[in-house]
Amino acid sequence: MESFNYDDAVEELKTFRQTNERQSERVCALGAKMMRDKLQSKLGDEVWPFYEQVCIAAMDTGDKDLTNYCIQQLQARFGESSLRFRRLLGMKHEASGRLEEAQKVYDSILAEDETNMLTSKRQIALLKTRNKIPDMIKALTKYLDTYYDDAEAWLELCDAYLNQYEYDQAAFCCEELLLLQPNNHLIYLKYAEILYTVHRYDLALKHYCKVLDLCPDYTRALYGLHLTSSKLLNDTSSPHASDLHALATERLLHIYSQQPHQPIVQDYLAQPTA
């Protein structure tokens, strides 16, 4: 059995909190051991973030007894009026499948403090789980009005718009993301694919090229470049389409020549474009 060292356990749990790592099973194991040995009393004021951390981990692992114990300790200390406690209560409802009750808790918190970031994120995640995409879009839009630089939220909003086939709004989200992460080739790729979908081939072509500039021989981008340039071969306003089509074809043939088990791809690329 692994030996237990109190100081090491406290430091490990603190590191998880600082780095936002869930590591739920490990947190539960350390937290439960400390509680069994009544070592949490040595933490002083740090005991409250400890209880919160262990509570969330216990929800993740489905340990109801440990969840309830932590909830009881936090409730006794902060009371039911505490927004932080109520957020945990909402998460407990989620973990138990009581989604409607969880939604009511989050709505009540945001009615008091609409800038509560953690609760906003829980509300958005819950709306997604309940497949309430239009409501999720509204919540995300409101959240981003306050937390504009949250790239993960912009990506979530982009995917939500795509789910609703609202391609112009999804493209706008990608544009905002590119301002936040100008060297992320995956965002350029997503933007290029959206542009291709709405037949904005010339602009899609430029962004597929940007992907390849950041990540040479990225196969998905090469296919996008191949397909997009083929749409522009007869367009006099796109003089580089022919060269880019030839480049994409050559690079894809080279890549798949290293994988002889996929001759069908080489056969397809070798066919003349109509």
- The gap between the terminal CA atoms of the chain, to the nearest Å, is 69
> Which long-range CB contacts under 8 A does 101-104 form with residues at least 24 apart?
102/126, 103/127, 103/130
pLDDT reading at 264 higher than 90: no
* H-run or E-run covering 248: helix 241-257
pLDDT of residue 265: 66
Q: pLDDT tens across 24-42, in order?
A: 999 999 999 999 989 888 9
Q: Cα(171)–Cα(14) distance, rounded to whole angstroms?
A: 40
What DSSP character marks residue 41?
G
Q: pLDDT tens across 130-159, in order?
A: 999 999 999 999 999 999 999 999 999 999
pLDDT reading at 270 higher than 90: no
pLDDT of residue 73: 92
Q: Cα(224)–Cα(209) distance, rounded to whole angstroms?
A: 9
The residue type of 83 is L
Give the mean pLDDT of 250-267: 75
pLDDT of residue 5: 87
pLDDT reading at 104 higher than 60: yes
pLDDT of residue 261: 61
Q: pLDDT tens across 45-87, in order?
A: 899 999 999 999 999 999 999 999 999 999 999 988 899 899 9
Q: What b/e readout covers 138-168, taking b as 16+ CB neighbours within 10 angstroms?
A: ebbeebbeeeeebeebbbbbbebbbeeeeee
Q: Which residues have CB under 8 Å from 256's CB, separation 6+? A: 262, 265, 266, 269
Query: In the structure, what pLDDT confidence band is assigned to residue 258 with cuts at 50, 70 and 90?
Result: confident
Q: Cα(195)–Cα(22) distance, rounded to whole angstroms?
A: 37
- Domain residue ranges in the chain: 1-78
Residue whose C-alpha is closest to residue 196's, from 185, 207, 186, 187: 207
* H-run or E-run covering 205: helix 201-214
Which ranges in 133-180 belong to alpha helices (H)? Answer: 133-146, 151-163, 167-180
DSSP for 53-78 reads HHHHHHHHHT-HHHHHHHHHHHHHHH
pLDDT of residue 263: 66
Assigned token pair, 243? 């060269």
Are residues 210 and 218 in contact, defined by beta-carbon separation less than 8 angstroms? Answer: no
Q: pLDDT tens across 166-207, in order?
A: 999 999 999 999 999 999 999 999 999 999 999 999 999 999
pLDDT reading at 1 higher than 50: no
Residues 131, 135, 140, 143, CA torsion sign:
negative
Q: Cα(124)–Cα(106) distance, rounded to whole angstroms?
A: 10
Q: What is the mean pLDDT of the chain?
A: 91
pLDDT reading at 107 higher than 70: yes
pLDDT reading at 218 higher than 70: yes
